[in-house]
Every structure is written in C-alpha cells, then in structure tokens.
C-alpha cells in the first residue's frame, strides 16, 4: 500500500487531507505533538468522519491510519523514507517550526544518497507557501544540502476551500477523534512546484498556471462569503445559512459571483460554464446549516478583507481590468464599511474612523480607493442604495 506522511493531525489534516488520501487507498501517517491524539490514532488505526449535508450527518470511517510524535525525529525520518508523498496541514504560523523537521528529513536523504524525488503538498492558507518554505529551508540547510533540496524535493502550494466546523459537544464526548466536515474533498495543487511528476491522486488536482485557482478562491469563494456575511449583518442574521437563504442577499451574491466569474473567464480563458457551476456549488455549500458558520466569524477583520488586494476590492479591481462592471461586488464592499461588532477590534477601528472622518475617507484609507478612482463610483452608488 502507498504511504503518505501528513504533518498535522488537526481538522484540515484529518477532515480533508487524510480523507482524500484514504479514499485514494493510501496508508496515512500523521505527525503531530498531541500525545492523546497520537495514542488514540495508534490504538484505533482509524477515526470517524461526520460529513455534513445540511440537515444531518453521514458517518464514515478513515482507515489505515497511524501517528508518530512530532518530536521523535528518528520515527519521522523512518516514515518519510517509506512514503511516496508528504503533506502539511499545520497552519501558517507553525510552518517555521515544521521547516526545522523537514530540514532534518532532507539532510538525512542527502547524507544517505537518496535521489528519489519527494513532493510535499502544502495545504496551508498562504499564497506562495512553497516559496516561503524554500526561504525557511535556505536558512536551515548548508549550500550542498539546499542544492539537493532544490533538485529532489518539491513543494506545491494549494488552494484549500473546505469548511470544517467544530463538532457538537455530544459527538466529541462519544469519540474525541471525531471530525466534522462538509461534503467537499478537493485540493487544488500547484503543478509547477513539484519535482518530477506528482502521483495521480483522486481529488488532488494539479494545475498550472496556479494563479487561476488562487484568484478563483479569493475572488469567488472568499469574496462571496464576505459579501453574504456583511449583507447578513445588515439584516440582523446570526448565521451564514440564514443570510444566503434571504432572496435579496442570494440574488446579490449570485450576481457578484457572475461578475467575478466573467472576469476570470476572460483573463484565463477558462470555460464560463464551469465557473458558473462553481458559483452555484459555493452558494449551496453556504446553505449547510450544520456548518454553524456565523456572520461574525466570516465577516471578522474587515480591515484585512476590505484592503485593496483582498477578496472584495481585489475582485472588483480585477473585474474592472477585464472590462466587467463590479456593481454587485461593490455592494459587498459598501456593506463591509457598515459592519460593526464590539468584539472585533478591526471593525471598531473602522467605525470609529467613519464617525470621525466620514465613510469616504475610510474607503480611501482602508481600501486605497480615491474619490476619482473608477471603483469609487460603484462603491458610492452601493452605499446610497444600502443606506437609503
């Protein structure tokens, strides 16, 4: 049986990455520092996966699983030596720590004369995570070790769109290994980051130029999610599923996704029918009640989400560059400037600035959209509509 070593046994590691490799008939070895998790996985060699479909759960089992302690370097090296591919799902903040472990793995392979290619699928929420990892390794390896790394070790950045809700307390009490996840099991990987040829693995889609999937995730998934959240806030909803079931919000989100899809199709030459199908799939996924996704969580940190290169303004500017009018995306931007939460420092800062300097100045400060910029006209029109 083929083997994968996955660094990180958390929600994404088990709920998405482990699931995909199990379904592709791989033996799955997790590397983690949670001793209770390690003990339980090695005791059961499996874990339950509760796939949400909106109103109830479909219980499944991920099998052929084991785990090793992230502090046991000999055990990690032994498992990686037997693996045909590796992955990480640890979170961006932990990458500098895990890079030290990966550096030791690479050093061992170099010293033992191993010239087999090894690829890492980096399932992290960071654009250019592959370049970031190589920068970290450059400081951890000597010149010859790094030359070896460049030649034989691949790092593929990914686009991760899976939503993994916290499992209900009663299910965790039943089995601490439980993972709840939406019924979405695809990973889009940057083909150009690989060394040699990536093994064909069902539901890991290797693609280049990968910028298409990065921008599709940011300008469609992230954009529409934020838009639904901010419009939902204005109508007093608590959950994303409530907001997306509102006909007016659903209509605006659908039109905003159509704008982004048209721009992506024009720029990358991708089939508009596939992008429209992706839009429909996203909106259906937002309706999943068991995800329990709140307006407050999805709309959190509006300073970041309203910044010029992020999901809303970034999508609107991309549309304008490709001859598409972002009328509905602009509604999401305008709604973002009306979002308020006393528990969100970012939202509080924007609202305090708006109260003192006015919303036009806030748009210029936080979105870098000046009053003579083309996008400003769309945002101003949207604000007038929302505040009428």
Question: Using 50, 70 and 90 to split pLDDT, how confident is the model at 244?
Answer: very high
In terms of domains, do 289 and 146 share one?
no
CA atoms lying within 13 Å on the CB side of residue 14: 31
Rounded CA-CA distance 327/375 in Å is 9
Residue 74's pLDDT is what?
97
Question: Using 50, 70 and 90 to split pLDDT, how confident is the model at 53?
Answer: confident
In terms of domains, do 167 and 105 share one?
yes
In terms of domains, do 220 and 368 share one?
yes
Residue 292's pLDDT is what?
87
3-state SS track over 36-77: HHHHHHHHHCEEEEEEECCCCEEEEEEECEEEEECCCHHHHH
Domain count, the chain: 2
Q: Of 172, 188, 208, which residue sits at a domain end? A: 208
In terms of domains, do 200 and 334 share one?
no
Question: Using 50, 70 and 90 to split pLDDT, how confident is the model at 56?
Answer: confident
pLDDT in tens, 262-273: 999 999 999 999
Spatial contact of 353 and 365, defined as CB atoms under 8 Å apart: yes
Rounded CA-CA distance 13/232 in Å is 31
Domain harbouring 178, CATH code: 3.40.50.720
Q: Of 162, 190, 208, which residue sits at a domain end? A: 208
pLDDT in tens, 78-106: 999 999 999 999 998 899 999 999 999 99
In terms of domains, do 24 and 103 share one?
yes
Domain harbouring 235, CATH code: 1.10.1040.10
**Residue 377: domain span:** 212-386
Dihedral sign, Cα of residue 112, residue 118, residue 123, residue 125 = positive
At residue 126, does pLDDT exceed 90? no
């Amino acid at each position: 049986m083929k083997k994968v070593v996955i660094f990180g046994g958390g929600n994404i590691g088990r709920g998405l990455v482990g699931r995909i490799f199990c379904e592709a008939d791989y033996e799955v070895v997790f590397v983690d520092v949670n001793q209770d998790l390690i003990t339980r996985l090695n005791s059961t060699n499996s874990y339950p996966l509760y796939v949400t479909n909106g109103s109830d759960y479909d219980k499944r089992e991920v099998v052929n699983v084991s785990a090793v302690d992230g502090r046991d370097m000999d055990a990690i090296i032994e498992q990686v030596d037997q693996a045909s591919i590796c992955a990480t799902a640890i979170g961006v903040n932990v990458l500098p720590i895990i890079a030290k472990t990966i550096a030791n793995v690479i050093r061992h392979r170099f010293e033992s004369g191993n010239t087999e290619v090894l690829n890492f699928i980096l399932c992290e929420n960071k654009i250019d995570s592959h370049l970031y990892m190589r920068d970290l390794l450059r400081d951890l390896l000597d010149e010859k070790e790094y030359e070896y790394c460049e030649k034989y070790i691949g790092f593929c950045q990914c686009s991760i769109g899976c939503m993994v809700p916290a499992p209900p307390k009663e299910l965790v009490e039943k089995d601490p290994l439980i993972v709840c996840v939406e019924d979405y099991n695809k990973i889009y990987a940057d083909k150009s980051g690989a060394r040699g040829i990536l093994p064909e693995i069902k539901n890991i889609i290797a693609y280049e130029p990968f910028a298409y999937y990065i921008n599709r995730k940011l300008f469609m998934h992230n954009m529409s999610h934020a838009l639904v959240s901010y419009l939902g806030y204005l109508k007093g909803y608590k959950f994303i599923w409530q907001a997306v079931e509102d006909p007016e919000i659903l209509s605006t989100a659908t039109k905003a996704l159509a704008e982004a899809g048209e721009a992506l199709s024009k720029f990358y030459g991708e089939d508009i029918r596939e992008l429209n199908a992706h839009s429909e799939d996203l909106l259906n996924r937002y309706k999943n009640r068991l995800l329990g996704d709140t307006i407050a969580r999805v709309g959190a940190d509006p300073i970041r989400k309203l910044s010029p290169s992020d999901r809303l303004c970034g999508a609107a500017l991309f549309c304008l560059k490709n001859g598409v009018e972002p009328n509905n995306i602009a509604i999401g931007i305008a709604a973002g400037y009306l979002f308020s939460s006393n528990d969100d420092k970012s939202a509080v800062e924007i609202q305090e600035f708006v109260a003192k300097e006015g919303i036009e100045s806030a748009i210029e400060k936080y979105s870098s959209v000046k009053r003579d910029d083309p996008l400003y006209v769309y945002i101003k029109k949207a604000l007038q509509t929302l505040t009428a």
